[in-house]
Amino acid sequence: MYTKVWRQIRFPLLVFGIWWVFTLAVALASPYFFDLQANFLGGGKETYLGNPFLWGHLNFDGEHYLAIAKDGYSPGRYFFFPLYPLLVNALSHIGNTSTVSLAVSGLIISHTAFLIALIGLYKLVKLDFSVKIAQLTLVVLVSFPTSFYFLSFYTESLFLCLVVWAFYAARLKKTFLAGLLGALSTATRLVGLVLLPSLFLESASRRKCLILAVVPIGLLAYMLYLTRLTGDPLAFVHGIEAFGQQRSSSPILLPQVFFRYLVRIIPNLNWHYFAGVFVTLLEFIVGSVFTLMSLLSFFRLRLSYSLFLAGTFILPTLSGSFSSLPRYVLVCFPAFILVAMWLVNQRNTTKLIYVLATLILMVVSQSLFWQGFWIS
pLDDT of 83-115, one tens digit each? 999 999 999 988 777 899 999 999 999 999 999
- Predicted pLDDT at 249: 60
DSSP H helices, 30-71, are 45-50, 52-55, 61-71
Q: Average pLDDT, stretch 212-238?
A: 95
Q: What's the whole-number mean pLDDT along residues 241-256?
A: 70
Helix axis angle, 195-202 to 156-171, nearest 10°? 20
Confidence class for position 244, pLDDT limits 50, 70, 90? low
Q: Which residues contact 142 (CB under 8 A, 6 or more apart)?
A: 15, 16, 19, 118, 150
Q: Do the beta carbons of residue 214 and residue 196 sit within 8 Å?
A: no
The C-alpha atoms of residue 119 and residue 194 are separated, in whole angstroms, by: 22
* Residues 206-228, mean pLDDT to the nearest whole number: 91
Q: What is the pLDDT of residue 203?
A: 80
DSSP letter assigned to residue 213: G
Q: Where are the domains of the chain?
A: 2-370
State the Cα–Cα distance between residues 195 and 308, nearest whole angstrom: 7
Q: Residue 3 has what pLDDT?
A: 75
Q: Are 59 and 151 in contact (CB under 8 A)?
A: no
Residue 330 CA, chain-centre distance (Å), reads 4
d(CA 89, CA 102): 6
pTM here is 0.95
Q: In terms of C-beta distances under 8 Å and separation of at least 24 residues, what long-range contacts does 312-319 make, across chains too?
A: 312/191, 312/194, 314/254, 315/190, 315/191, 315/194, 316/191, 317/252, 317/254, 317/257, 317/287, 318/251, 318/252, 318/253, 319/240, 319/247, 319/248, 319/249, 319/252
Decide which of 245 and 52 is more confident: 52
The mean of the pLDDT values for the chain is 93
Tell me, what's the pLDDT at 58? 94
Helix axes of 61-71 and 83-92: crossing angle, nearest 10 degrees: 60
Q: What whole-number distance in Å separates Cα of residue 115 and Cα of residue 119?
A: 6
According to DSSP, residue 36 is labeled: P
CA distance 367 to 29: 8
What is the mean pLDDT of the segment spanning 149-158?
A: 98
Helix or strand holding residue 369 (H, E): helix 348-370
Nearest to 333 by CA among 302, 373, 363, 365: 302
pLDDT score of 306 = 98
- In this structure, are residues 211 and 231 in contact, taking their beta carbons and an 8 Å threshold? no
Whether the Cβ atoms of residue 82 and residue 225 lie closer than 8 Å to each other: yes
Query: Tell me, what's the pLDDT at 343?
Result: 98
pLDDT band, very low/low/confident/very high, at 204 (cuts 50, 70, 90): low
| Contact between residue 312 and residue 304 where contact means Cβ atoms under 8 Å apart | no
**Does the pLDDT of residue 362 top 90, yes or no?**
yes
Residue 7 confidence class, pLDDT cut points 50, 70, 90: confident
Expressed in percent and rounded to 5, the helix, strand and coil fractions of the chain are 75, 0, 25
Q: Are 254 and 288 in contact (CB under 8 A)?
A: no
Confidence of residue 278 (pLDDT cuts 50, 70, 90): very high
CB atoms within 10 A of CB 273: 11
